[in-house]
Amino acid sequence: MNAIVAIALNTFREAIRDRILYLILAFALVLIAVSHFVSLLTVGSEVKIVKDLGLSAISFFGLLTAVFVGVSLVFKEIERRTIYTLLAQPVRRWQFVFGKYVGLSIVLGSSVVLTGAALLVAVALKGESPFGLLPAIALVLVELELIAAFAVLFSSFTNPILAAVGTMATYVVGHLSWSFDLLEKRMAGDMGKAICRGLHAVLPNLDRLNVKASAVHGLALPPGYFAAALVYGLSYAVLIVILACLIFERREFV
Amino acid sequence: MRRVFIVGLLALAVFGVGSARARLADIDAAKSGTKDLLYMPNGKYLKAISLGHAPLLADFVYLWAIQYYSDYSQEDRYRYVEHVFGDVIAELDPGYIDPYWLGALILTTEGRDEEAGLRLLDRGFEKNPSQWILPFLAGWECQRFGQFDRAAAYFDRAAKAPGAPPDLFRLKAGMTARTGNLKEAIARWQDVLDDPRNNDEARAIAARQIRTLSVRADVEALDTAIATYRERNGRLPRRLDELVRAGILSALPSDPDGNAYAYDPSAGTVFSAASRVLGS
């Protein structure tokens, strides 16, 4: 347990020292601030644009953080050969991967809390209660945790470029998973239909974690939806991290 | 020599950027405006590829549309309004209310396409049944175009939406009166009078309207009876009770104060003292 905490904190400190993270964070905060001026161009509700732009900024820049920081987490240790020193200590391989993931999760959590707070203030300054956005912000964080899990998974067996491509592809496929449904209806053979059904069931459905529109329009989520989405996203992330740990356990370093 | 070459190259590059940019702007300005809109895909497809950011995309298209439709120099600018506001923005973010009413306003006020404006408001209400403001605006559009029966139907839909103010039933009753169906209008004002959600002021208005409309209905009935009498007998009746004796009316109506209607036999006109207090 101590090893996981130590690795997680070290990963967090390392990410904080990384200037890319500051850049991403600054962009997100600037975008939320700029949304105030963009909203002046509209006719009707200005606060809707502030909310949309803010939520998308949190999600998009969080995604960049998860990808850019996540994909090099394991690879960097191998490239610098610090992994040998680390694994010579009483640290199990799964503890190393899990610690890395927890560290990245803390980074993402801090980033979402900071940008989320900026959005809440921006909305409050427009004279509207911002608390209806909290479920959407929470599920954005869950989505980012899931994407980070994929980044760590890819990072555990490939180089950062391939890992970044894989993680981004997962994000895109996760938001297009409805297309497997569509494809299944168009497929003639049973085999094709079964493959579509299988892919739809196995691949992450990130739209399930997207409640931005409901939050912006102040619509209540169906009873139990938030809890189910939370469990879905976090369980999926745990599953992927376990997979990453298993792959890393079998990896051989030359 | 090298420095001169670099500076010269730099100046050439700056000139190239500046002149090409100006040329591109000229080409852009020469293009016919609505051609841009031909390439705007349906919101359903944009939503599919928005990767969870459809509401933001709707905001951007809406902001662009505001700027586009603010430019009065665009040719044929009303041709794709319904597509932009209805098929693109509304499909991207069905809960976004502003584009429905703004699009309808552009269509009805500037584009003079009332049906398209009403279709857009209908679409908005279909997707947002709690937004009574949409049929409310549609009602006013119909009123503006003199379609009072449609206006009454829209105010009825607005009034029945959850959270709608009870005052909307007054608009429905008012529009019904303007269709000329006075009996129906009196019944609708009676609904307002009986509605416990209405305050004293609203009830007082309803009572005055019922009084006015009752007088109008009675006077209209008497005028029709007088015209029938004149047709049959070739002269005006000397007194109103001749209409009953002639079998044209079964009984003479009384005004809301219980008094008989006054009659001028030389002109054949009917009036009531009760109508003088109307609107007080």
- pLDDT for B280: 35
What confidence category does residue B153 fall into, taking pLDDT thresholds of 50, 70 and 90? very high
Question: Residues, chain B, total?
Answer: 280
- pLDDT for B15: 92
- pLDDT for A67: 92
Chain A neighbors of B92, CB-CB under 8 A: none
Provide mean pLDDT across the span B197-202: 87
Distances (CA, A) of B29 to B15, B22, B26, B72, B73: 21, 11, 5, 14, 11
Provide mean pLDDT across the span B197-213: 89
- Which ipTM value was assigned to this complex? 0.82
Q: Does the pLDDT of residue A109 top 70, yes or no?
A: yes
Number of A:B CB contacts under 8 A? 59
| Percent of chain A residues topping a pLDDT of 90 | 48
Tens digits of residue pLDDT in A162-212:
999 999 999 999 998 888 888 888 888 888 888 888 888 888 999 999 999
Any B CB within 8 A of A180 CB: no
Contact between B53 and A56 using a beta-carbon 8 Å cutoff: yes
What gap in Å lies between CA A55 and CA B220, rounded to an integer?
Answer: 63
- pLDDT for B31: 64
What gap in Å lies between CA B187 and CA A160, rounded to an integer?
Answer: 76
- pLDDT for B49: 86
The torsion of the CA quartet A159, A163, A164, A165, rounded to 10 degrees, works out to 110
Any B CB within 8 A of A181 CB: no
- pLDDT for A30: 84
Which of A176, A179, A213 is nearest residue B55 as measured by Cβ atoms?
A213
- pLDDT for B279: 41
How many CB atoms neighbour CB A103 within 10 A? 25
Contact between A43 and B66 using a beta-carbon 8 Å cutoff: yes
Beta-carbon contacts of B50 under 8 Å, excluding residues fewer than 6 positions away, are B56, B57, B92
Domain limits for position A123:
2-250
Q: Does the pLDDT of residue B84 top 70, yes or no?
A: yes
Which of B49, B54, B98 is nearest residue A43 as measured by Cβ atoms?
B98
Tens digits of residue pLDDT in B3-31:
888 899 999 999 999 898 888 888 877 76
Q: Which of B96, B39, B44 has the alpha carbon at shortest distance from B66?
A: B96
Give how far B94 is from chain A: nearest CA, Å.
9
Q: Does the pLDDT of residue A23 top 50, yes or no?
A: yes
Total structural domains within chain A: 1
Q: Which of A14, A31, A121 has the alpha carbon at shortest distance from A68?
A: A14
Q: Does the pLDDT of residue A33 top 90, yes or no?
A: no
Contact between B53 and A59 using a beta-carbon 8 Å cutoff: yes
Chain B, residues 46-65, CB within 8 A of chain A, namely 48-49, 51-56, 58-59, 62-63
Question: Residues, chain A, total?
Answer: 254
Q: Does the pLDDT of residue A125 top 50, yes or no?
A: yes
Q: Does the pLDDT of residue A19 top 80, yes or no?
A: no
Q: And the tokens for B56?
A: 């933001």
Give how far B97 is from chain A: nearest CA, Å.
9
Provide mean pLDDT across the span B92-107: 94
Probe site for chain B from A32, A48, A143, A178 (most B CB atoms < 10 A): A48
Burial class (CB in 10 A: 0-12, 13-18, 19+), A226: middle
Closest residue, chain A, to B92 (C-alpha): A213
Q: Does the pLDDT of residue B278 top 50, yes or no?
A: no
Angle at B122 between CA B119 and CA B128, to 5 degrees: 145
Which of B67, B95, B102 is nearest residue A213 as measured by Cβ atoms?
B95
Probe site for chain B from A217, A219, A221 (most B CB atoms < 10 A): A217
B71 or A160: whose pLDDT is higher? A160
Chain B neighbors of A178, CB-CB under 8 A: 48
What gap in Å lies between CA A54 and CA A120, rounded to an integer?
Answer: 9
Closest residue, chain B, to A56 (C-alpha): B53
Provide mean pLDDT across the span A139-143: 97
Contact between B93 and A175 using a beta-carbon 8 Å cutoff: no
